[in-house]
Amino acid sequence: MKIRERAQRLKKDIPAVFLALKRKETPWLARILGIITIGYALSPIDLIPDFIPVLGYLDDIIILPLLISATVKAIPRELIEQCRLESEQLWKDEKPKRWYCAIPIILIWVIMVALIIKALL
């Protein structure tokens, strides 16, 4: 499989992993890996800060795909295939149908900015 095909596959697997985490049939190991993966992807804190040229983005290019692949491998094949089909419907017309899922992320950023402003003043 070429790099471009792998990147497209990983792009489709991210929402599928999110959907699989909500299923009761998902094994506990896959749930733990999925939570770590989503937490790392959404976290503003990286192992190597992004402001360091080249190296800052290198950890995102290597670690995140490895975490996604490990999570997908921990989910039973038929379950991940169902979730992939569902995730395609989620992003139909280039917009997620459940936009309100972004509210917790926005709240985290607002709280972080408020704490930084409070610390500076």
Greatest Cα pair distance in the chain: 53
Other Cβ atoms within 10 Å of 48 Cβ, number? 14
pLDDT in tens, 67-119: 888 999 999 999 999 988 888 877 666 655 566 666 777 788 888 888 988 88
State both tokens at 97. Answer: 């149908």
Domain ranges of the chain: 3-120
pTM, 2 dp: 0.64
Cα gap 59→49, rounded to integer Å: 9
Other Cβ atoms within 10 Å of 15 Cβ, number? 18
pLDDT in tens, 24-51: 989 999 999 988 887 877 776 766 776 7
